[in-house]
Amino acid sequence: MAKITVNRDSIVQKRRWVIKIGSALLTANGRGLDRQSIADWVRQMVTLQEAGIELVLVSSGAVAEGMSRLGWKTRPTLIHELQAAAAVGQMGLVQAYESRFQVYNRQTAQILLDHDDLSNRKRYLNARSTLQALIHLGVVPVVNENDTVVTEEIRFGDNDTLAALVANLIEADLLVILTDQQGLFDRDPRSHPDARLISEGMAGDTRLDALAVGGGAGSLGRGGMVTKLRAARLAARSGASTLIAGGREPDVLQRIASGEDVGTLLMASQEPITARKQWLAGQLQVRGSLVLDAGAVRVLRQEGKSLLPVGVVAVNGGFTRGELVSCIDESGREVARGLVNYSAADARKVRGQSSRKIEEILGYCDGQELIHRDNLVLV
């Protein structure tokens, strides 16, 4: 693998950005939407578009704006109250963006996502295709978590994570996280005036975790500097670098685009992997498992081949064709995961059998493999 050098100049060549703006910035610390700042960010984003940069905007602020409209002073803890606040606030949030982009004759589109949209292969591809079409049309997609229907068990957890997954989804070159901090510091700048800003680093450097201070989530948000580091690592799976910067810095987006030393740049340390495999690597929800014998484990790990039914000794779960399953060895350790070509019922019928017997046993054949190597990623 080629060594990746941390280099600000490389940002100048990055042509597809995901920009994430946090609640503390958007809502003026809970006093409703900061429309003046929104107007300024929109102006900067239009300038980026005019320079040939493709944009997707991931925006927090729906719950906070809903709280402001409803007169609530503290963030609710009950899920239905959060959903109600999100439903009310989403109206104002989208209206604020749309009205400002229309000043420049630019179109926007609202995209609401939840975890199921990215864990279901068909819905993942639908979301990807829609976003790609909007980008090619010059429309700015405004993405948010679908807080009005999402439950705690399946939520992304914070919009930093969502932004990173969107970067994976559209194969972005750069993830820009605008926050109320200037970036990652070596100490908490709120209590240490001499704290030093970390200018550059590698997204996969775990030593940075100890420096994730000075960016704790406020009362309106769920994220913090720790989630931003995690987001950077997740974005790096598809080769996207991440830049964490202060959203209130003058012309911050233009300065980033010009390669100026602003914020904290975290470079991806690996080349992009294929879109299908990056999706597989990022999934949290598997629908079942296949237990492999030692020979099948060796073939997957050492030879990079497909998984054939002959190497499967047991089938667990009730998955259907095309769903994500885990491949485990006979001691229970996960080896890989992938999209299965057959349902659990049919996989049980052909497990341990030669691929030549699939049609004889099932009456049809959807492939010689239980999981094709293009749909399989090692863990």
DSSP one-letter code for 80 = H
Q: What confidence score (pLDDT) does residue 217 get?
A: 44
Residue carrying structure tokens 């495999």? 277
Q: What confidence score (pLDDT) does residue 124 get?
A: 79
In a shared domain, residues 107 and 20: yes
In a shared domain, residues 290 and 260: no
Phi-psi category of residue 259: left, alpha or beta, with phi > 0 → left and psi -120 to 50 → alpha: left
Q: What confidence score (pLDDT) does residue 29 get?
A: 58
Q: What is the CA 283 to chain-centroid distance, rounded?
A: 10
Top-confidence residue, 149 or 139: 139
In a shared domain, residues 217 and 354: no
219 pLDDT exceeds 70?
no
Question: Domain boundary residue among 278, 309, 333?
Answer: 278
Q: Is residue 328 part of a domain?
A: yes
Question: Domain boundary residue among 278, 296, 318?
Answer: 278
Question: Domain boundary residue among 217, 250, 278?
Answer: 278
* Residue range 256-267, pLDDT digits in tens: 999 999 999 999
Give the model's confidence band at 130: pLDDT under 50 very low, under 70 low, under 90 confident, else very high.
very high
Q: What confidence score (pLDDT) does residue 271 get?
A: 64
Q: Under 8 Å CB-to-CB from 18, ≥6 apart: which residues?
A: 55, 56, 57, 58, 163, 166, 167, 170, 172, 174, 175, 176, 235, 240
Low-confidence winner among 75-84, 169-178, 235-244, 268-277 (lowest mean pLDDT): 268-277
Q: Is residue 1 part of a domain?
A: no
Low-confidence winner among 42-56, 83-97, 345-359 (lowest mean pLDDT): 83-97
Counted domains in the chain: 2
Q: Is residue 190 part of a domain?
A: yes
Residue range(s) defining the domain that contains residue 345:
286-378
In a shared domain, residues 144 and 233: yes
* Residue range 59-91, pLDDT digits in tens: 988 888 888 899 888 888 888 888 888 889 899
User: What CATH number did the domain enclosing 45 receive?
Assistant: 3.40.1160.10
Q: What confidence score (pLDDT) does residue 122 get?
A: 72
Q: Is residue 4 part of a domain?
A: no
Q: What confidence score (pLDDT) does residue 223 get?
A: 44
User: What CATH number did the domain enclosing 305 receive?
Assistant: 2.30.130.10
Q: What is the mean pLDDT of the chain?
A: 85
Q: What confidence score (pLDDT) does residue 299 get?
A: 94
pTM of the model: 0.73
Pairwise CA distance, residues 361 & 353, whole Å? 9
In a shared domain, residues 335 and 315: yes
Q: What confidence score (pLDDT) does residue 349 get?
A: 97
Q: Is residue 3 part of a domain?
A: no
In a shared domain, residues 22 and 128: yes
Q: What confidence score (pLDDT) does residue 147 get?
A: 60
279 pLDDT exceeds 90?
no
First to last CA, the chain: 18
Pairwise CA distance, residues 170 & 141, whole Å? 12
Q: Is residue 2 part of a domain?
A: no
